[in-house]
Amino acid sequence: MKRLDTEILVVGGGATGTGVAWDASLRGFQVVLVEKRDLTHGTTGRYHGLLHSGGRYVVKDPVSATECIHENRILRKTHTHCIEDTSGFFVVTPEDEGEYPDKFVEGCAKTGVDCSEISLAAALRREPLLNPRVSRVFEVPDGSADSFLATHATAQAARQAGARILNYHEVIDLIIEGGGGPRVVGARVRDVVRDEEIEIRAAMVINATGAWANKITGMAGITISVVPGKGTMVAMSHRLTNTVLNRCKKPADGDIIVPVHTVAIIGTTDERVTDPENLRIEPWEVQLMLDEGERLIPGISKARVVRAWAGVRPLYQEDYAGASREATRQFALLDHKTRHNVAGFLTITGGKWTTFRLMAEKTVDKACEQLGTRKPCVTAETHVPGVEQGHYWLGHRLHEIEEDHLQGQLVCECELITRPMLEGAARQNPTLTLDDLRRDVRLGMGPCQGGWCTYRAVGIIHELGKAGVWSGEAGEQTAEAAEWAVAYAHSPKRHPGGVKASTDGAGAIPVLFNPNLLLHDFLQERWKGVTPILWGPQLKQERLDEMIYLCLLNVDHLPESALASPLTDFYLYDSTPNENLEAPK
């Protein structure tokens, strides 16, 4: 069995895990991070993209609100290009009257969330589709975040500080040694791609698996009270608002619309579930999002819906059994030595994307304390690569394409992805499925949901493979190329020229890119996300995609159709609408 030795082993490649790896490596620790799938495959990649101002929590959960505004200010500096400075409105609709608005203003003042009331006329000038029947509008510094890019950028910063990030590495078991009380001394990990086992020894194991936290603690015989809270989100095919729109009321289902890139996302439901893995989207949830969205933007439910998906919040509350919406959104750092007499093992869970850096800081502080070293956290003052691009703005890609006449290189007309962008992402980040590239460059995320770009991406990746990009002779990377890995993933202009594939991880990436498998997996992955919302124009679009892939390309009769990737079954999960049109009482 292969063996790796490190000081800190981080389990989980979401915002929190990569944040911990970044923080710990900046403090001089040797760090290895393992993630069982692609980075952000879990909750981080499945949320609505809100950079919280804290406004949503000022009344109910003031500690969270204070954390949010504090981190909001920091992330705008450390992850500038991953954030769009959209600003946010809290609006009082006719359904939201009562005492809440005054409590909201008071709460903002107490928690330090910048809040100013603006006139309805001013709000409507900025957001003409906003419900004109709202009575009051408060502006707060909400933003929208690209959680894929931010996580990759954090991971890249960690790599530059010496961390090793191993995705598609799944923890099979923790290694526990006795003698003076049990101690976690590492983990047995399976490399899912090469199908081999690795033993990773570490002085400290940090469980940053969020809603999956119990699966890891269970390996040490510890049960913790993390409840997966499912949130369903619906993406509209247009950016119907440029400002985050929140209802000014106690947080509830469907009370927020976040503009992210080219779409507007209505979020969310909040349902306790038992399994964080396979999340079924119920028809009533989609309907509820659209009905509630109507209160913020009248007519929104008649607009085209492009996709629906669900993520799981990791809700931590000790001895708590109530509704998941009521659970605190604060994070929880669990020291298993004091709680369960298991040393060398920490769990960080709960919280939200906006507070990931703070969560990492507190976790690594605790690790320092236990490892007997004390180095200060520097992440609040350290930039991840790419921040000099400034805040994201919607016209960014189009601007670069027009400036540099890159129209001929477009492989996705919906999301303005150029061939070099796609190649750069495929070369730099271990890519097992096209879904991984989707997270990197937004492949297949536009209105046609992969109709054109799936075929093109498969063809391009196949050509890269033929050219020997993943042949195992990747060679040394230049510092510039290493930095590029994600910093400019969204920039059509700045792409690497002739960069070799990343060799991060255990050796070169194997050639398991079977083009026919990539094609099948991605078509099914896209299908899974559109079936809950297929009607009207999107159903027509889907039929056209069928015409392309069945009639024109005959992909259901390609050779090697029996091949499966580690994610094939995941994509095959049945997401077609069931008969649950009403919310359970």
Partner 1 sequence: MIDVLVIGAGLSGLMTAYTAAQAGPLSVKVIAKGLGALHWGAGTVDLFGYSPTDHSRPIQRPLDFIGGWLAEEQPQHPYSILGVERVSAALAAFTALTAEVGLPYQGARTTGDNLLLPTAVGSARPTFLAPQAQIGGDLSREEPMLIVGFTGLRDFYPELVAENLSKLGHQARAAFLPLDLLTGRKDSNTVQQAQGMDDHIRRAGLAAALKKLARPGERVGLPPILGLNDHAAAWADVQAQLGAPVFEIPTLPPSVPGMRLFVALRDKLRQMGVRVEIGMEASSAAAASANGAAGHVEWVQSETSARPLKHYALNFVLATGGIMGGGFDSDHTGRVWEIVFDLPLTTPQQRSKWFRPAFVNPEGHPVYTGGVETDEHLQPVDRDGKLIYENLWVVGDLLANDNPLLQRSLEGAAVATGHAAGLLLARRQR
By CB under 8 A, name the binding residues for partner 1.
283, 286-287, 290, 301, 405, 407-411, 419, 452, 455-456, 458-460, 462-463, 466, 515-516, 519-520, 523-524, 526-527, 531, 533-536, 539-540, 543-544, 546-560, 572, 574-579
Q: How far is the CB of 290 from partner 1 (least distance, A)?
A: 7
Work out how close the CB of 555 gets to partner 1 at its nearest, in angstroms, rounded to a whole number: 6
3-state secondary structure of 229: strand
- Our CB check for partner 1 shows the closer of 376 and 498 to be 498
The SS3 assignment for 35 reads strand
Other residues' Cβ atoms within 10 Å of the Cβ of residue 480: 10
Judged by beta carbon, residue 10 or residue 234, the one nearer partner 1 is: 234
State in angstroms the smallest separation of the CB of 218 from partner 1: 30
Min dist CB 263 to partner 1, Å, is: 18
Q: How far is the CB of 469 from partner 1 (least distance, A)?
A: 13
Between 16 and 418, CB nearer to partner 1: 418
Q: Which is nearer to partner 1, 380 or 563 (CB)?
A: 563
Backbone angles phi, psi at 224, to 5 degrees: -120, 160
Residue 455 C-beta: closest distance to partner 1, Å: 6
DSSP string for 41-91: TTTGGGS--EE--SGGGTTT-HHHHHHHHHHHHHHHHHTGGGEE---EEEE
Tell me the C-alpha distance between 147 and 183, whole Å. 34
Q: Are 565 and 510 in contact (CB under 8 A)?
A: no
With beta carbons less than 8 A apart as the criterion, state whether 168 and 193 touch: yes
Nearer to partner 1 by Cβ, of 283 and 566: the residue is: 283
Distance in angstroms (rounded) separating the CA atoms of residues 380 and 382: 6
- H or E element: which one contains 170? strand 169-177
For partner 1, the closer of residues 196 and 556 by Cβ is 556
Q: Is the dihedral of CA 332, 338, 341, 345 positive or negative?
A: positive
Half-sphere exposure of 344 (CA within 13 A, CB side): 23
Q: Which is nearer to partner 1, 199 or 546 (CB)?
A: 546
Q: Cα–Cα distance between 557 and 583 in angstroms, integer?
A: 41
How near is the Cβ of 264 to partner 1 at its closest, in Å?
17
Q: How many residues does the chain have?
A: 585
Residue 111 or 431 having the CB closest to partner 1: 431
β-bridge mates for residue 204, sequence order: 8
Distance of closest approach, residue 462 Cβ to partner 1, in angstroms: 5
Angular region, 341: left φ>0, alpha ψ -120 to 50, beta rest: left
Rounded distance, CA 538 to CA 548, Å? Answer: 15
Shortest Å distance, C-beta 216 to partner 1? 30
Q: Kindly state the smallest distance separating residue 531's Cβ from partner 1, in Å.
A: 6
Cβ-based nearer residue to partner 1, 403 or 556: 556
What are the φ/ψ torsions at residue 433 (nearest 5 degrees)?
-135, 165
Element (H, E) at 208: none
Main-chain dihedrals φ then ψ at residue 510, nearest 5 degrees: -75, 155
Closer CB to partner 1, residue 76 or residue 456? Answer: 456
Segments in 467-567 forming alpha helices (H): 479-487, 515-530, 536-546
Q: Closer CB to partner 1, residue 349 or residue 454?
A: 454
Which of 75, 67, 74 shows the shortest CA–CA distance to 113? Answer: 67
Closest approach of partner 1 to the CB of residue 467, in Å: 9
